[in-house]
Amino acid sequence: MSLARFEKTESAVITDSLCKSYGPLKAVENLSLNIPKGDFFGLLGPNGSGKTTTIHILATLIQSTSGQAKILGLDPKKDAVKIRKKIGLVFQETTVDRSLSLTQNLYFCGQLHGLNKSTIDERAQPLIKLFGLENHVKRPLASLSGGMRRAVDIIRGIIHEPDMLILDEPTIGLDLPNRLKIWRFIQDLRKRSGMTVLLTTHYLEEAQDCDTVAFIESGNLINQGNPIELIDKLGDHIVEIKGSNAGKKNIELLLGNSLDGHGISYFKCLNKDLESLTEVQKKNKKEIEMWRIRKPNLNDVFLWNTQKK
């Protein structure tokens, strides 16, 4: 792949008031995004928030009900075939043909994009080696592990060297070593090629390295920004407590409302409040069973954006 094919000032994806309805259900509502070419962009939200619907619109798999979109300068309603030639797509669920071998799957996909077998071989060999699949190329994919099949999904998604790679929860169900291997590869690919990457994931630590993340809920954009900046804006610390309602209320007087889940209450805390918090802790030893003070992360940003009162 050529180096830095895109200027960051250009847009890979632009949507304006994008909507998708299924009868009375609004899966996406007035969604406006601008993703620069070469960006690593995370689209985040709870189950049913509209992430996959948005991905399917951008990948020309479904059409929006209203609003406009441009994908790499093309209109998905008018230029679907052209867009599909320029993007790679890795779905939530594996789409490989399990009755075919690894090589047969790659030939099938590559030839759909107009590649000959020699080009497919040339591009596939280093990727097959990277994922440790050299001894499995002739085996039917049904006999491979889930992590191996996921690696084949990703190889298929980039075999035609797309301008943009769309990853819809690409590592779901994979163990940590395979997740790390896949992300090292994708990050290296971005550095070498300037490829735009659009990600949805429930593993928010995977979105920590994004240039920009956008949080959506019920099809609406509720916040976006650089992950590090969003974490910094949230607060200096997160305080987790488990205890009685009386102890919780005493902390709320200092830190404000909490988010609650699984018997734990979560508070945002600034440095200036730490000394006062220590005093509250001393006075409520019997009321509070557990204390924990830690630095915030992207999971906390997610929770405060999608579950705030």
Instruction: Kindly give the parts of the chain with pLDDT less than 70.
Output: 1-9, 308-309
Query: Which DSSP state fits 81?
Result: H
- Look at residue 245 and tell me if it is in a domain: yes
- Own/partner long-range contacts of 5-8 (Cβ < 8 Å, ≥24 apart): 5/163, 5/193, 5/194, 6/37, 6/38, 6/163, 6/194, 6/196, 7/37, 7/38, 8/36, 8/37, 8/38, 8/39
Residue 44, CA distances (Å) to 67, 142, 181, 286 in order: 21, 31, 22, 39
H/E run at residue 20: strand 11-22
Give the burial class of 240: count Cβ atoms within 10 A of its Cβ; 0-12 exposed, 13-18 middle, 19 or more buried. middle
Sheet of strand 87-90, all strands in order from the earlier edge strand to the far edge: 87-90, 164-168, 196-200, 40-44, 212-217, 220-225
Largest CA distance in the chain: 74
Sheet of strand 11-22, all strands in order from the earlier edge strand to the far edge: 25-36, 11-22, 66-71
From 199, 225, 251, give the residue that closes a domain: 225
- Look at residue 2 and tell me if it is in a domain: no
pTM: 0.86
Count of structural domains within the chain: 2
Q: Which domain holds residue 128?
A: 11-225
- Look at residue 250 and tell me if it is in a domain: yes
- 131 with 210, same domain: the answer is yes
- 45 with 189, same domain: the answer is yes
**The CATH number of the domain where 157 resides is what?**
3.40.50.300
**Rounded distance, CA 202 to CA 219, Å?**
16
- 220 with 236, same domain: the answer is no
- 205 with 253, same domain: the answer is no
* Structural contact between residues 20 and 27, judged by C-beta atoms closer than 8 angstroms: yes
- 90 with 201, same domain: the answer is yes
- 192 with 238, same domain: the answer is no
- 94 with 219, same domain: the answer is yes
Phi then psi for 195, rounded to 5 degrees?
-65, 140
Which pLDDT value is given to residue 111? 94
- 189 with 281, same domain: the answer is no
Interhelix angle 227-234/298-306, nearest 10 degrees: 70
**Rounded distance, CA 99 to CA 71, Å?**
33
- Look at residue 59 and tell me if it is in a domain: yes
**The CATH number of the domain where 235 resides is what?**
3.30.70
Strands 288-294 vs 220-225: parallel, antiparallel or unpaired: unpaired
pLDDT, tens digit, 9 for 90 and up, residues 189-204: 888 888 999 999 888 8
Phi then psi for 127, rounded to 5 degrees?
-75, -40
**Rounded distance, CA 139 to CA 219, Å?**
42
Query: Which DSSP state fits 148?
Result: H
**Rounded distance, CA 149 to CA 142, Å?**
8
- 206 with 240, same domain: the answer is no
- 84 with 193, same domain: the answer is yes
Count other C-beta atoms under 10 Å from residue 105's C-beta: 24
- 154 with 110, same domain: the answer is yes
